[in-house]
C-alpha cells in the first residue's frame, strides 16, 4: 500500500449559523477551523465570527465529544471536531464542512522507523495472543469494540511497516523473534492480570472468558508459524474491515493451538 506524505488540503473549516431559537431575524455565521494536514493531528482550535455566536459555539464545543468520547479542548484534532459537529450538541448550529474533506481522509504517518514499528507491532500482537479468547469477538459489545479498534490501529501501522519487507517470508522471519521476546517479557504480568480479571468475573457471577489463544509455554519452533499466519492475515485484510481482520487473526491463531 502506498501513502501520500500529506493531504492536498492543510485546513479544515466548518460554517455554523445562529440557532433558529435565538430569535434573530437574520442568521449570523461563525467558522470553526484548524490548521492541520491530518485527521489525527493536534492543532489550535479557532472560532471566528460575530462575538456572541462565537462565544456560544465555544461554550457548546466545551460540552461536545470527539472520537472515542474525547473532550474538545483548545487544541484538538480534525477528526474530533468532525465527530463533535455530528453530535446533538452542535446540531442546532447547522454545521457544514466547507473545507477539509481530504484532511479527514489522511492520518499522520507513524513517527517510527521500520525496526521500531516492528517492535511495537510485535509487542501489541503478543498481547493479543495472550489475552484474546479463541471464540470470535463480538464487535457489538464494549470489549469487542475496543479490540476491533485496536486491530484497526495495528492495521494502519502494518501498512507502513510491511512494504519495508521484500516478501511475506522476510516479514515473518523478522517478526517471529520479536514476538518470542515480547511474549517472554510480558507473559508473567499478563497471566497474573488475566487470572485476577477472571476471578472478578467469577465473583460477579459473569460468564468466564473461556480458552485463550495462547497457552504457555510455547515451543520455540512455533513462533515462525505464528508469524507466518499473522503476516497472511494482515496481508489479506481490507483496510475497511477491521472486524474481519480481528476474526481472521483469532481463527488462524486458534487453529495453530499455540502452546498445546
Show which of 76, 104, 132 is a domain's final residue. Answer: 104
pLDDT beyond 90 at 114: yes
Rounded Cα–Cα distance for residues 156 and 107 (Å): 9
The pLDDT, as a whole number, for residue 138 is: 93
Show which of 104, 135, 167 is a domain's final residue. Answer: 104
Q: Are residues 166 and 91 in the same domain?
A: no
Q: Are residues 118 and 73 in the same domain?
A: no
Q: Are residues 140 and 161 in the same domain?
A: yes
The pLDDT, as a whole number, for residue 86 is: 97
Please, what sign has the CA dihedral across residues 166, 242, 10, 72?
A: negative
Q: Are residues 38 and 135 in the same domain?
A: no
pLDDT beyond 70 at 239: yes
Q: Are residues 128 and 179 in the same domain?
A: yes
> Model pTM?
0.76
Q: What percent of the chain has pLDDT over 90?
A: 85
Residue 3 lies in a domain: no
The pLDDT, as a whole number, for residue 4 is: 45
Residue 1 lies in a domain: no
Task: Count how many domains the chain has.
Answer: 2
Quickly state the pLDDT bin for 51 (edges 50, 70, 90).
very high
The pLDDT, as a whole number, for residue 240 is: 87
Q: Are residues 77 and 121 in the same domain?
A: no
Range of the domain at 188: 114-256
103 Cβ neighbours under 8 A, 6+ residues apart:
7, 9, 10, 11, 12, 36, 37, 38, 39, 78
230 Cβ neighbours under 8 A, 6+ residues apart:
125, 172, 175, 179, 249, 252
1-25 residue pLDDT tens? 545 444 567 899 999 999 976 556 5
Cell of 176: 517471529
Residue 34 lies in a domain: yes
Residue 2 lies in a domain: no
Show which of 80, 104, 128 is a domain's final residue. Answer: 104
Q: Are residues 74 and 127 in the same domain?
A: no
Task: Write the DSSP assignment of 110-144 as a string of letters.
Answer: PSS-HHHHHHHHHHHHHHHHHHSBSSPP-TTSHHH
Residue 212 pairs in a beta bridge with 133
Q: Which of 44, 31, 138, 40 lies closest to 83 in space, CA to CA? A: 40
132-190 residue pLDDT tens? 999 999 999 989 999 999 999 999 999 999 999 999 999 999 999 999 999 999 999 99
Quickly state the pLDDT bin for 260 (edges 50, 70, 90).
confident
55-92 residue pLDDT tens? 999 999 999 999 988 999 999 999 999 999 999 999 99
Q: Are residues 146 and 67 in the same domain?
A: no
Residue 228 lies in a domain: yes
How much is the average pLDDT of 194-207? 91
Q: What is the mean pLDDT of the chain?
A: 93
Q: Are residues 18 and 129 in the same domain?
A: no
pLDDT beyond 90 at 27: no
The pLDDT, as a whole number, for residue 5 is: 46
Q: Are residues 52 and 135 in the same domain?
A: no
Residue 187 lies in a domain: yes
Quickly state the pLDDT bin for 109 (edges 50, 70, 90).
very high
The pLDDT, as a whole number, for residue 211 is: 93
Amino acid at each position: 500500500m502506498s501513502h501520500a506524505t500529506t493531504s492536498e488540503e492543510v485546513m479544515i473549516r466548518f460554517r455554523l449559523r445562529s440557532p433558529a431559537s435565538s430569535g434573530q431575524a437574520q442568521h449570523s455565521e461563525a467558522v470553526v477551523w484548524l490548521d492541520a494536514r491530518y485527521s489525527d493531528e493536534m492543532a489550535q482550535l479557532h472560532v471566528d465570527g460575530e462575538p456572541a455566536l462565537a462565544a456560544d459555539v465555544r461554550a457548546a464545543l466545551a460540552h461536545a465529544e470527539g472520537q472515542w468520547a474525547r473532550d474538545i479542548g483548545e487544541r484538538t484534532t480534525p477528526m474530533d471536531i468532525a465527530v463533535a459537529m455530528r453530535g446533538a450538541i452542535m446540531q442546532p448550529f447547522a454545521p457544514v464542512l466547507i473545507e477539509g474533506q481530504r484532511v479527514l481522509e489522511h492520518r499522520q504517518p507513524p513517527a517510527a522507523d521500520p525496526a521500531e514499528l516492528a517492535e511495537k507491532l510485535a509487542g501489541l500482537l503478543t498481547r493479543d495472543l495472550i489475552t484474546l479468547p479463541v471464540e470470535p469477538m463480538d464487535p457489538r459489545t464494549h470489549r469487542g469494540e475496543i479490540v476491533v479498534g485496536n486491530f484497526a490501529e495495528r492495521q494502519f501501522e502494518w501498512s507502513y511497516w510491511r512494504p519495508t519487507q521484500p516478501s511475506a517470508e522476510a516479514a515473518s522471519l523478522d517478526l517471529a523473534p520479536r514476538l518470542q521476546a515480547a511474549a517472554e517479557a510480558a507473559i508473567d504480568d499478563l497471566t497474573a492480570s488475566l487470572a485476577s480479571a477472571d476471578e472478578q468475573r467469577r465473583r460477579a457471577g459473569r460468564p468466564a472468558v473461556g480458552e485463550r489463544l495462547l497457552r504457555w509455554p510455547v515451543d520455540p519452533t512455533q513462533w515462525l508459524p505464528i508469524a507466518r499466519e499473522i503476516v497472511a492475515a494482515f496481508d489479506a485484510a481490507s483496510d475497511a474491515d477491521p472486524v474481519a481482520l480481528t476474526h481472521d487473526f483469532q481463527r488462524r491463531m486458534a487453529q495453530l493451538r499455540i502452546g498445546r
